[in-house]
Structure 1
């Protein structure tokens, strides 16, 4: 599968900083993405609070929604641990700390409440016809960035950006998610 990254999304996240793409050979990435347990992605610090299972048993995610929450350094770690204790609470599957550490908080079968139904239909950021009421919590994998406290307009850190560049190809391969199905939260839902 050809791994294509949506550069417009990352430009939005870091206001024009070019992505540092994963250099993982495709064959290695395919094998890694199909594995169970706690696969380690080259160049990515990832902490599994829930190990990965058989991909056939995982949710069949169709979309990825990237969120950013206000919170100090350490907020992603704390939120991931809270999410692990209550997998269906409001939150996401993956949390990215300011230093780029990724926390996989819940089993692949759990559905955290992070998408409220793609309620934006104003075509402000992207044409919303394809997403309106179609990109929902049941079919979307959520990734939450933390650390823009106290300025909610502050973008993701370079370490978070680099972590995303390593994580996205893995997620796209594991769940067969097309690059056009990766969204920033405010593209599809009212912020």
Structure 2
């Protein structure tokens, strides 16, 4: 388990295009990353086309345990990337592993978004999952400031690496029927979409 470096470089100054092609365990400006699995050749990664934002309903400190278990059993129920309340990012699995997350994109009621392009289409095989820890016992608790700061960088990094446009960032609750007590991942997905980040590969007309 190796820890990537962290700096205070603002997200606006991060060279996402250069980082998108990195391999190994790179230092990512502005992020503290614990690499449980290194990056390989991005061209050989699973063809991620979407991002799904989850919240664990677990206590602060639970991201590390979840990520460690995920690294041992990549296809278990869980995600590729975990984010702790202090903003630490755990990259848990290889990029070609497909963790089990989501519930089959079974929401088709258009409650939050137009579900025509998501119903039975945004699935574990084409959507990389990011899990935020800490909303226990209050499932309605917002992500911490440290998590939000990390997310602003992390989501653009994922978009740049896998050529994912902002409109393909989804809250879990937008595509699956979930716990009625709160909207899982909704604030985080809205925040990410509001960044309106356009990966360089997409601006060149490249898609996955």
Matching of residue 86 in structure 1 with residue 102 in structure 2: no
Matching of residue 23 in structure 1 with residue 19 in structure 2: no
SS in 1 for 2:101: coil
How much has 1:85 moved relative to structure 2? 0.3
SS in 2 for 1:103: strand
Structure 1 Cα separation of the partners of residues 134 and 29 of structure 2 = 24
Match of 2:22 in 1: 35
How much has 1:120 moved relative to structure 2? 0.4
Structure 1 unaligned blocks of 5 or more: 1-20
Matching of residue 125 in structure 1 with residue 112 in structure 2: yes
Q: Which has the higher contact order (CA 8 A, sep 6+)?
A: 1
Structure 1 Cα separation of the partners of residues 77 and 58 of structure 2 = 16
Deviations 1:149-180 (A, max 9, x none): 11111111111111110101111010000100
Structure 2 Cα separation of the partners of residues 32 and 126 of structure 1 = 31
The TM-score normalised by the length of structure 1 is 0.86
Structure 1 Cα separation of the partners of residues 54 and 13 of structure 2 = 25
Structure 1 Cα separation of the partners of residues 166 and 79 of structure 2 = 19
Deviations 1:63-114 (A, max 9, x none): 0000001111110011000000000000000000000100000000000001
How much has 1:24 moved relative to structure 2? 2.7
Match of 1:144 in 2: 131
Matching of residue 62 in structure 1 with residue 49 in structure 2: yes
SS in 1 for 2:131: strand
Q: Is the 8 A contact 1:65 1:142 kept in 2?
A: yes
SS in 2 for 1:137: coil
The TM-score normalised by the length of structure 2 is 0.79
Q: Is the 8 A contact 1:115 1:140 kept in 2?
A: no
Structure 2 Cα separation of the partners of residues 115 and 38 of structure 1 = 27
Match of 1:100 in 2: 87
Structure 2 unaligned blocks of 5 or more: 1-9, 179-208
Matching of residue 75 in structure 1 with residue 62 in structure 2: yes
What is the aligned residue count?
A: 169
SS in 2 for 1:144: strand
Structure 1 Cα separation of the partners of residues 137 and 110 of structure 2 = 29
